[in-house]
Amino acid sequence: MEVRDRYAPSPTGLQHVGGLRTALFNYLFAKSQNGKFILRLEDTDRTRFDKAYVDNLYSTFEWLGFHWDEGPDTGGPYAPYVQSERSIVYKKYAHSLVENGAAYYCFCSAERLDAVRREREAAHSSESGYDRHCRNMAPDEAAARAVTEPHTIRLKIPLGEKTLFNDALLGSVEWKNDDVSPDPVLLKSDGFPTYHLANVVDDHLMGITHILRAQEWLSSTPLHIILYRAFGWEPPLFCHLPMVMGQDGKKLSKRHGAASIDEFRKNGILPDTLVNYVALLGASYEEGKEIYTLDELCARFSLEKLNKAPAVFDYKKLEWYNAQYIRMKTDAALAALALPFAVQTGLFGAPGSQPSAKQLSLFNAAIPLVKERAVFLCEIPEKLAYLFSEPSVPEAAEFIPKKSSLEEARRLLSIGRELAAPIAGTDDEGAEKLAKEKAEKEGLKLVELLTPLRVAVTGSRVSPPLFGSIRLLGAESSLTRIDRALEKLNLP
């Protein structure tokens, strides 16, 4: 049997970590079984639908770099993969359930349902949901009224029974039918399906064999199983994935930090980072191995590797992954990834302005200076700003090494000045040698000698490597900066 699974988002919000986890696990499971991964848009809730969310779905997965085998954009043997284009199918299947007695017409008005609710409230009744008013109407009478009167179609939940199913992760799950939502609507009065009907009909018609979905759907599953049985269909195998929590044990949300994939992207998290980290939310692969490519994950994924316990989303760990992935990029690849951030923040002029050829080659050449230190792509332009425009000369105090004086800082910088041109003309190794010789000759510690020089050239005590900076700026520009600093230190 070919494995077929799916990601079935409702486009009512931006793609977030939870959705990515569901999509990714379905993708990995399908690929690990040589099966098919399908995208289906569950857009039956027209009041919350927004096309922007559909666009966000496509752009997110394009950026993440993994795709479905069948879907609205790719097509496939079960098209259309968009529920709003399949209304006629759901109507037909809802009516087939009325015919076989598993569902019935309900003619209750919104006013009547509201009155029932209010009466119960006044009587402090614990009952909720539909009171099954139309459940026992004679089928002939109901069919005759349905020709002219507005109606919904409701599922006739078999009462006094239990529904059992075997969850691949949670094991056997048992639910009393009396605790399932009382005879839920399958087809609304406007002829549109509810989520439950469309979801079950599509999973069956699209040949879905496995449903990996978030645990918050667990309470809908007994109802779905009842629906499969009502149709006489074999349900797929369900696997409810562990919850994703923030570090406070609450469901992950905006309160914890970025949760939408767009936000991570804007902060300069790499797609590789997200895929790798999210693949570990609720699954363990190999002891001690933390870095996985998508292919490695496909080869290792299995339902046995899922954890029952909730997964905790750790932003610090995500940052660690990002720093690792930044270091693994080639300089050219990292430059290309960081360039849009540089353009946007105005590294090359006004925000949005593109680099000149000279600026671009400086940017590319400067990438090795920040590669080992950057955690987010968006920090890269900020860290390199001093190379593109001369920073203002820091306060004199900045130049003074620990337990030293202004006079000493001045002297150290004058000595350091002599190093600028030779350093600009050599490589790191050569520069290191020159600096050490100089320090020794003057009876100084290397850091003492270099601190004022670093502040003068880069505008800060904490900066990317000094020798590389001098080399990229060139002797002339480095000397200009040093001289301006000396001027400031010489002021009374």
Q: In this structure, are strands 4-7 and 36-39 parallel, antiparallel, or unpaired? A: parallel
134 binds, among ligand GLU, Zn ion, none (CB under 5 to 8 A by kind): Zn ion
Q: CB 60 → ligand GLU: shortest distance, Å?
A: 15
Instruction: Write down the least CB distance from residue 133 to Zn ion, Å.
Output: 4
Q: Which of 10, 59, 463, 477 forms a contact with ligand GLU (CB under 6 A)?
A: 10
Q: Which one of Zn ion, ligand GLU, none interacts with residue 106, CB within 5 to 8 A by kind?
A: Zn ion
90's tokens = 């759901």
- Angle formed at CA 345 by CA 452 and CA 461, multiple of 5 degrees: 15
Q: Does 8 bind ligand GLU (CB under 6 A)?
A: yes
One symbol per residue from 215 to 244: x for binding ligand GLU (CB under 6 A), - otherwise; what is it?
A: --x---------------------------
Q: Which residues contact 141 (CB under 8 A, 6 or more apart)?
A: none
Residue 213 touches which of ligand GLU, Zn ion, none (Cβ within 5-8 Å per kind): ligand GLU
Which of 92, 250, 254, 289 is the catalytic position? 254
Does 133 bind Zn ion (CB under 5 A)? Our answer is yes
Among 42, 183, 272, 448, binds ligand GLU (CB under 6 A): 42
Structural contact between residues 12 and 45, judged by C-beta atoms closer than 8 angstroms? yes
Binding status of residue 199 toward ligand GLU by CB under 6 A: yes
Q: How far is the CB of 189 from ligand GLU (least distance, A)?
A: 22
Q: Is 24 an interacting residue with respect to ligand GLU (CB under 6 A)?
A: no
In the shown chain, the binding pattern of residues 159 to 198 toward ligand GLU, with x for contact by CB under 6 A and - for none, equals ----------------------------------------
State in Å, rounded, how far the first CA of the chain is from the last one: 86
Do residues 4 and 48 lie in contact, with contact meaning Cβ atoms separated by under 8 Å? no
Decide if 254 is catalytic: yes
Partner touching 70 among ligand GLU, Zn ion, none, CB below 5 to 8 Å by kind: none
CB of 239 or CB of 335, closer to ligand GLU:
239
Minimum separation from the CB atom of position 237 to ligand GLU (A)? 13
Residue nearer to ligand GLU on the CB measure, 60 or 199:
199
Residue number, 106 or 439, with CB nearest to Zn ion: 106
Smallest distance from ligand GLU to CB 213, Å: 4
CB of 249 to ligand GLU, least distance (A): 22
Residues 98-117: x where in contact with Zn ion by CB under 5 A, - otherwise, as a string: --------x-x---------
Q: Residue 15 or residue 199: which is nearer to ligand GLU going by CB?
A: 199
* Residue 258 partner contact from ligand GLU, Zn ion, none using kind-dependent CB cut-offs of 5 to 8 Å: none
Contacts with Zn ion, residue ranges (CB under 5 A): 106, 108, 133-134
Q: Which residues are designated catalytic?
A: 254
Contacts with ligand GLU, residue ranges (CB under 6 A): 8-10, 42, 199, 213, 217
